[in-house]
């Protein structure tokens, strides 16, 4: 057998294996794009647990007609002009849309800021149609239909509509905490709806309560600590306010939601003497760190991060939480804080 260069459609499908694991990963990429475009209002609609339809509508800056075809092409991005050390956006790899387009029917309808008209491109089975004129007053509408219909092996691994819908909800909640000034509306099957109204920047706890639950604020202590220019802020739940899984841990690195093993384990470590094993503390924590000291480019879905000095970050999390709990007089925390 001889070595051949794969065609772009196949390359995209292979990459999609990493970027697009399930409907929630598509929603994540589309909502991140809307946020990167400066949207103030984002609507997400799904059907069939996202398997039949996901539609994300935003009022962001839109995509000019001449860039619409580029937006769905591999390695085409408007976000990396500052290089990998200066990433200020959620996206930067230029692979989400081409990957999605290789495993689903994808359409992008957009009206760029200042443009007189809207245009649309459609991608299916590796072929791109358009741009053709469409109707839209502002922003972008991205529609994804029939996810994995062309890749039955992947379709088989998806869970029930209900489970996929709840994974989508989880993703939207996580992103919404990082962007309290943006209004999010998620509508799913049976007219179910999650509406998160925009909240003023000086009341970040409001969005957190909207997402995590009203009682969180009464059962959490505020965290604000700095160690060698790394800042940790947010809220850590009282040990009595625990859960059976780590889903209620909302962790952010430079405004990006992450599910990083080291951070999750540091959080458990902080509560080790205050909580039974197998229980998980609730927490909403924001880590701010010089972008050159953290690599977010570890995994295509960008859920994992790599710190230059993980011990510093771990120590900051464990120390800050234990001190805050000790100051509250929480049992078990004083011994731990020493």
Minimum CB distance to ligand ADP smaller for 55 or for 207: 55
> What whole-number distance in Å separates Cα of residue 190 and Cα of residue 233?
38
**Residue length, the chain?**
338
- Kindly indicate which of the ranges 28-36, 118-126, 162-170, 298-306 contains the residues binding ligand ADP, using the contact rule CB under 6 A: 28-36
Helical (H) or strand (E) element with 117: none
Residue 78, binding choice from Mg ion, ligand ADP, none, Cβ under 5 to 8 Å by partner class = ligand ADP
Binds 92: which of Mg ion, ligand ADP, none (CB < 5-8 Å by kind): ligand ADP
CB of 254 to ligand ADP, least distance (A): 16
Residue with tokens 């179910």: 192
Q: Which does 279 bind (CB under 5 to 8 A by kind): Mg ion, ligand ADP, none?
A: none
Cα atoms found within 13 Å of the Cα of residue 79, Cβ hemisphere only = 21
Q: Is 125 left (phi over 0), alpha (psi -120 to 50) or beta?
A: left
Coil, strand or helix at 189: helix
Site string for ligand ADP, 124-163 (x = CB under 6 A): ----------------x-----------------------
Nearest 5°: phi and psi at 104? -160, 170
Map tokens 């495993």 to a residue. 103
Q: Which residue is nearest to ligand ADP (CB)?
A: 91
31 binds ligand ADP (CB under 6 A): no
Q: Which of 49, 50, 60, 239: binder of ligand ADP (CB under 6 A)?
A: 60
Out of ligand ADP, Mg ion, none, which partner does residue 216 contact, by CB within 5 to 8 A per kind?
none
Among 15, 26, 63, 296, binds ligand ADP (CB under 6 A): 63
Look at residue 71 and give the partner it binds from Mg ion, ligand ADP, none, a contact being a CB closer than 5 to 8 Å depending on partner kind: ligand ADP
Residue 40 binding ligand ADP, by CB under 6 A: no
Q: Does 96 bind Mg ion (CB under 5 A)?
A: yes
Contacts (CB under 6 A) with ligand ADP, residues 82-111: 91-97
Residue matched to tokens 């991140």 = 32
Q: How far apart are CA 7 and CA 126, in angstroms?
A: 10
> Considering the rule CB under 6 A, would residue 58 count as an interface residue with ligand ADP?
yes
Does residue 37 interact with ligand ADP by CB under 6 A? yes
Strands 183-187, 127-134: pairing is: unpaired
Nearer to Mg ion by Cβ, of 91 and 239: the residue is 91
Query: At a CB cut-off of 8 Å and minimum separation 6, what does 104 contact?
Result: 26, 144, 145, 146, 147, 148, 149
- What residue ranges in 207-333 does DSSP mark as E strands? 220-227, 230-237, 242-243, 249-253, 256-258, 280-281, 283-288, 294-295, 306-307
Binding site for ligand ADP (CB under 6 A): 29, 33-34, 37, 58, 60-63, 71, 77-79, 91-97, 140
Binding site for Mg ion (CB under 5 A): 33, 91, 96
């Amino acid at each position: 057998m001889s070595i051949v260069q794969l065609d772009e459609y196949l390359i995209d499908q292979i990459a999609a294996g990493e970027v697009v694991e399930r409907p929630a990963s598509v929603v994540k990429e589309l909502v991140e794009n809307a946020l990167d475009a400066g949207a103030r209002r984002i609507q997400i609609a799904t059907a069939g647990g996202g398997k039949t339809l996901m539609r994300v509508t935003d009022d962001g800056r839109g995509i000019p007609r001449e860039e619409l075809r580029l937006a769905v092409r591999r390695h085409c991005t408007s976000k990396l002009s500052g290089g990998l050390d200066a990433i200020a956006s959620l996206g930067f790899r230029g692979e989400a849309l081409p990957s999605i387009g290789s495993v689903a029917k994808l359409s992008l309808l957009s009206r760029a800021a200042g443009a007189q008209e809207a245009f649309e491109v459609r991608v299916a089975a590796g072929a791109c149609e358009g741009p053709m004129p469409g109707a839209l007053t502002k922003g972008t509408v991205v529609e994804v239909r029939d996810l994995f219909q062309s890749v039955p092996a992947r379709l088989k691994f998806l869970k029930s509509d209900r489970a996929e819908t709840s994974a989508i909800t989880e993703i939207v909640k996580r992103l919404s905490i990082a962007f309290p000034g943006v209004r999010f509306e998620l509508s799913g099957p049976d007219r179910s709806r999650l509406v998160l109204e925009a909240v003023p920047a000086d009341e970040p706890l409001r969005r957190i309560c909207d997402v995590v639950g009203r009682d969180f604020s009464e059962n959490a202590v505020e965290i604000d600590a700095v160690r060698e220019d790394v800042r940790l802020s947010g809220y850590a739940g009282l040990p009595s306010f625990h859960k059976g899984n780590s889903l209620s841990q909302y962790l952010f690195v430079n405004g990006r939601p992450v599910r990083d093993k080291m951070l999750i384990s540091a959080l458990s470590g902080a509560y080790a003497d205050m909580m039974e094993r197998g229980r998980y503390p609730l927490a909403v924590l924001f880590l701010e760190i010089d972008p050159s000291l953290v690599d977010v480019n570890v995994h295509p879905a960008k859920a994992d991060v790599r710190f230059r000095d993980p011990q510093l970050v771990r120590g900051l999390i464990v120390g800050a939480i234990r001190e805050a709990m000790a100051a509250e007089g929480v049992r078990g925390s004083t011994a731990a804080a020493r």
